[in-house]
Structure 1
Amino acid sequence: MPIRAVHIRRLILAAAAFSASIPYAAMAQTIDNVVTRPVGGDAEPLKKGRPPEGVQPSTGLGVLDRMGAKLPDLPPEKDYKGPVDDAYGAYQRGYYLTAMQLALPRAQLGDPAAQTLVAEIQYAGLGVRRDPKSSAFWYGKAAEGGDGAAMFKYALMLMAGEVVPRDKAKADEYMKKSADAGNSSAQFNWGQILTSDHPGQDGLKLALPYYEKSAEQGIADAQYAVAELYSTMPDLPEEKRRLARPWMARAAHAGFDTAQVDLAVWMVNGQNGPRDFVHGFQWMQLAANRGNVVAQNKLAHLYIYALGTKPDPIEAAKWYVLSRRAGLPDPELEDFFLGIEDDQQKAAIDRANKFRRLP
């Protein structure tokens, strides 16, 4: 996973603020939403009252339903036809001292790839004493020599200002160079920097091409960002807008819990694709079991309204108790909890006490 120089939530806040300028017609599909994803600190509950008109309670999940829909194929990996690097080969096999012995002479002669490898080994302390200062020296040399990975790592060091003096201008320069050289993590982080430095529509437009390139290389954070922007930005080609849900699904399959929550919300609400209560419930349940507090709150609502699952007041109360303990209030769920039988409350609390999040 990339180190997030600017947190992904900033992108969502920017997109949310930007969406205020979208014409009413473009927002009409969200009017009858059953689930909403909170942007701020408090959860937005399901709409009060009954489920949407025409919606029948689910009878549960079937085996075929659990299999999920097929995602678009990932781009095929390109065959490597370049020269074999013995130092990197030793590193990849775990022979770190051998890798160091092979890389150091080349690094001293100015080989940027070897300098990057020496920096990696020293920074992590693999087979040698950990030495962040020496590692920063070699990252800097390799960055000067144009190595994409080194430029990314050195940019992060310059941003942090812990091992080397903080220098935003130089950090931005190296991050952009690394992104333009094809480093997927740098592409995502440069997109984040652009959204931070250029608030609003301009920053999102500048960042989107970098998010797209990073997403295509498998970075889940970037896949999530692409999905959100494809969903909210106006004036995008229709073919891109249709890809919002597939990109969100890729990020969800990669284990990004925020994407799992948003994909579930989209499926339940019928946003960026047809309604799918069963799979929406399935994704929400997965994120909740992995400890996502918003998912736990929303899952309680799905159990109450029997959307994608059978109605279960004890399970609903359990997930509410867990989300409330984590600091996410919800007046509607509080009313529900107080309205069930005492033995159901006790059973829910007992289940919450026994809950262990999945890895």
Structure 2
Amino acid sequence: MSLTPQHRLRPFLVTLAACLTALPLVAAAQQSDPSVVTRPPVENPGTFKNERVEPSNEPNAQPSQGGDKPAASAGANDVKPSEGIGIFDRMGAKLPDLPPEKTYKGPVDDAYGAFQRGYYLTAFQKALPRAQLGDPAAQTLIAELMSQGLGVKRDTKNAAFWYGKAAEGGDASSMFKYALILMEGQDVPRDRKKADEWMKKAADAGQASAEFNWAQSLTADNPGLKGLQLALPYYEKSAAQGIADAEYAVSQLYMSLPDISPEKKSEARIWLLRAANAGYDTAQLDMGVWLINGTGGKPDLEAGFTWMKIAAYRGNVAAQNKLSHLYINAIGTKQDPIAAATWYVISRRAGFKDPELEDFYLGIEDDQQKAAIDAANKFHPAK
């Protein structure tokens, strides 16, 4: 049985970024000033001092394509329609038969089936006799129902008991949950050593969230390069199972650790993209910076701007600050003083101080400042 527990632990674990800063050899993107993004030089770049920029009404507006006339379609007169089968003919054609479904002959778990359909009391009644006979899967289900109060009264103390029994029986999900309980001292005496033992057992059993958290423990207990090298295999296993935090960690370590093979280093941006697509806002911020600076691959200013904007709308304050700089310097978009000022106001309200942006804001017209404040007042982070 596979239940999906919470996978991020923050109480005692140091962040990956803190470990990376201790390395003597890190990627240029990690060493540079995080407020700086670069772009290739252009001839006669426009500034707010020597030209008046007409801002778009939409902050997401795309840059114009230049020129007053649309480009003519090359060889338009030479295009001939397809002579293949027509859509209406295709709709009437007989499709090939689907392959026959294989009959499932494995064991059927009635208790877990009831749990999946939302019949929690039925699930409890079916699982309890099996749990009392020592079935780890049934014990995990009983613990989950009790811990959340599904179908029965919420009882975290007895839930902890059943998680412990299921962990002893070899259920990886319960090993992970029991490790969290021991770590937090919730309904059982707090025991860091025992928690670490169960976390490692769960990680070695392939529980994705435990793999990530055991990697975090290794970096906390072994500061510097050694801890990161010990943690990398667990980060990789967790990332392969789709844990976004682990995907982000792998991208950073592939780019930063010495002695990483060229094949793995070339995959750093791929792992970062997976974490960004999973909605991890820090990965979205870094994806924007990497694309703009050409870290881990070729530069792509427009794509970098898009990722920065996504992270900014998700509420990432650093991305909001950087997005303001992108609008000022026309990186991946056109210059837009109102949009730049809007994101500066939003990030400043969140506590991000930037003297350069303050000077810019004070230098624009009063009506532009007012428009920026009005837009900032309407901003709500995307969920």
Partners of 1:290 and 1:332 in 2: how far apart? 24
Secondary structure at the counterpart of residue 21 of structure 2: helix
Secondary structure at the counterpart of residue 17 of structure 1: coil
Deviations 1:67-100 (A, max 9, x none): xxxxxxxxxxxxx985221111111111111110
Shift of 1:9: 6.7
Could you say what the CA RMSD is over the residues aligned between the two structures, in angstroms? Answer: 2.2
Q: Percent identity?
A: 62
Partners of 1:114 and 1:5 in 2: how far apart? 26
Q: Give yes or no for the alignment of 1:309 onto 2:322.
A: no
Deviations 1:116-141 (A, max 9, x none): 00000000111111111010010011
Match of 2:311 in 1: 287
Segments of 5+ residues of structure 1 without an aligned counterpart are 38-43, 63-79
Shift of 1:29: 7.4
Match of 2:7 among 3, 9, 27: 3
Are the structure 2 counterparts of residues 30 and 251 from structure 1 closer, same or farther at C-alpha, using a change threshold of 3 Å?
A: closer
Whether the 8 Å contact between 1:61 and 1:309 is mirrored in structure 2 is: no
Q: Give yes or no for the alignment of 1:346 onto 2:349.
A: no
Q: Give yes or no for the alignment of 1:258 onto 2:282.
A: yes
| Aligned residue identity for 2:202 | S
Whether the 8 Å contact between 2:163 and 2:174 is mirrored in structure 1 is: yes
Whether the 8 Å contact between 1:6 and 1:192 is mirrored in structure 2 is: no
Match of 2:260 among 204, 224, 236: 236
Whether the 8 Å contact between 2:142 and 2:162 is mirrored in structure 1 is: yes
Q: Give yes or no for the alignment of 1:211 onto 2:238.
A: no
Match of 1:13 in 2: 18
1:120-159 mapped onto 2 (5 Å cutoff): 120-159=144-183
1:17-32 mapped onto 2 (5 Å cutoff): 17-18=22-23, 21-22=24-25, 27=27
Partners of 1:168 and 1:313 in 2: how far apart? 53
Segments of 5+ residues of structure 2 without an aligned counterpart are 47-60, 66-103
Partners of 1:29 and 1:181 in 2: how far apart? 35
Are the structure 2 counterparts of residues 232 and 27 from structure 1 closer, same or farther at C-alpha, using a change threshold of 3 Å?
A: closer
Whether the 8 Å contact between 2:37 and 2:293 is mirrored in structure 1 is: no
Shift of 1:3: 3.1
Match of 1:85 among 109, 120, 126: 109
| Aligned residue identity for 1:4 | R
Deviations 1:225-249 (A, max 9, x none): 0001011001010000000000000
Higher Cα Rg, which structure = 2
Partners of 2:331 and 2:175 in 1: how far apart? 48
Whether the 8 Å contact between 2:302 and 2:331 is mirrored in structure 1 is: yes
Partners of 1:81 and 1:261 in 2: how far apart? 48
Match of 1:269 in 2: 293
Whether the 8 Å contact between 1:289 and 1:357 is mirrored in structure 2 is: yes
1:161-176 mapped onto 2 (5 Å cutoff): 161-176=185-200
Are the structure 2 counterparts of residues 222 and 278 from structure 1 closer, same or farther at C-alpha, using a change threshold of 3 Å?
A: same
Partners of 2:122 and 2:29 in 1: how far apart? 59
Partners of 2:20 and 2:368 in 1: how far apart? 41
Shift of 1:6: 3.8
Aligned residues: 325
Q: Greater helix share, 1 or 2?
A: 1
Match of 1:60 in 2: 63
Shift of 1:356: 1.6
The structure, 1 or 2, with the larger RCO (C-alpha pairs under 8 Å, 6+ apart) is: 1
Secondary structure at the counterpart of residue 9 of structure 2: coil
1:101-112 mapped onto 2 (5 Å cutoff): 101-112=125-136
Partners of 1:15 and 1:310 in 2: how far apart? 35
Match of 1:197 among 221, 230, 235: 221
| Aligned residue identity for 1:223 | E
Secondary structure at the counterpart of residue 5 of structure 1: coil
Secondary structure at the counterpart of residue 129 of structure 1: coil
